[in-house]
């Protein structure tokens, strides 16, 4: 648990400005976390001003550390303080281990040691939940590759090696979930103009972890082919990744939805515009939550 300054320990009625200084959170952020997510529930003084206790301050410190570590405030705000503390302590420990793993993986990429890269990735994928494998290993790797490449061509080479190797071990990772052939199938793919294959492949791991059979159909698939694949595999749902923020991308997704009417289509994108237009999820954690609701129907 964080060690709080003496001022927080002495007072059970701290003003929001004092809490801001103690937690290194802006006043606006504290208010937003309270109003939108009920992250803390400060008492009110006679004039309606917020009054924070030392427990509120400790909780805000934990929330900030969790969010700085990559968690979404909407998820961690719902946790009890004890569970939140366990999460933060775990991430402090795991984070160091992940850093070491990422360094080993980067060394394999930079030296083009594909065999060692496959072994390291398989080990990381088998030992972590699907979302953590994506968010804590693959995402940082892509960022480091982009930051350390001397030329765009070098970055593309390293990215291609990483992506191809993840695909090569995908069956190994999927096999650990041992999903029954009787479970519903979700087909993952991208449409014309979208070559990035990792996001839908990683989403397929999340689906397998959630108890679904998953099938990666590839990139730049035509809408009419999506229709035939979905029906041939008796898909219970489709998962489409859209990275390019274009009107054509929106049109293609809507065409697919029209062609497979009756089959739910999950869309993933990091574009706020596309998320708004296509009811898309921005993160794999959000996708996992949606799958849980879908499975409960």
Which is higher by pLDDT, 155 or 75? 155
pLDDT at position 295, please?
87
Spell out the residues 6+ positions from residue 165 whose beta carbon is closer than 8 angstroms to its own: 114, 117, 118, 121
Flag the least confident range among 5-19, 111-125, 276-290: 5-19
Mean pLDDT of the region 36-53: 89
Instruction: Indicate whether 200 pLDDT > 70.
Output: yes
Q: What is the pTM of this model?
A: 0.66
Among 3.40.50.280, 3.30.930.10, 3.40.190.80, 3.30.70.660, what is the CATH number of 177-295?
3.40.50.280
In the chain, what are the domain boundaries? Answer: 6-79, 90-171, 177-295
Dihedral sign for Cα atoms in the order 263, 267, 273, 279: positive
CATH topology of domain 6-79: Multidrug-efflux Transporter Regulator; Chain: A; Domain 2 (1.10.1660)
pLDDT band (50, 70, 90) for residue 7: very low
Structure token pair of residue 169: 């071990």
Average pLDDT in the chain? 88
Burial of 292 (0-12, 13-18, 19+ CB in 10 A): exposed
């Amino acid at each position: 648990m964080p060690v709080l300054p003496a001022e927080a320990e002495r007072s059970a009625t701290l003003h929001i400005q004092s809490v801001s200084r103690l937690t290194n959170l802006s006043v606006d952020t504290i208010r937003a976390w309270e109003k939108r997510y009920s992250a803390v529930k400060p008492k009110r003084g006679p004039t309606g001003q917020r009054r924070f206790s030392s427990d509120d301050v400790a909780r805000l410190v934990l929330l900030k550390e969790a969010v700085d570590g990559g968690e979404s405030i909407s998820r961690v705000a719902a946790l009890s303080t004890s569970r939140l503390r366990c999460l933060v302590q775990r991430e402090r420990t795991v984070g160091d281990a992940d850093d070491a793993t990422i360094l080993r993986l980067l060394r394999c990429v930079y030296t083009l040691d594909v065999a060692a890269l496959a072994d390291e990735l398989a080990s990381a994928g088998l030992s972590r939940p699907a979302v953590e494998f994506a968010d804590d290993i693959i995402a940082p790797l892509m960022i480091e590759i982009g930051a350390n490449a001397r030329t765009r061509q070098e970055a593309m080479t390293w990215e291609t090696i990483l992506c191809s190797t993840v695909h090569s071990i995908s069956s190994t990772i999927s096999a650990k979930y041992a999903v029954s052939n009787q479970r519903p199938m979700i087909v993952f793919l991208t449409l014309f103009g979208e070559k990035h294959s990792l996001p839908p492949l990683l989403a397929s791991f999340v689906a397998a972890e959630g108890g679904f059979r998953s099938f990666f159909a590839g990139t730049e698939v035509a809408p009419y082919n999506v229709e035939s694949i979905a029906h041939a595999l008796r898909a219970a749902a489709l998962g489409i990744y859209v990275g390019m923020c274009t009107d054509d991308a929106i049109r293609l997704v809507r065409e697919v939805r029209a062609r497979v009417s009756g089959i739910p289509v999950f869309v993933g994108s990091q574009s706020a515009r596309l998320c708004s237009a296509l009811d898309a999820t921005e993160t794999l954690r959000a996708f996992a939550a949606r799958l849980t609701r879908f499975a409960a129907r």
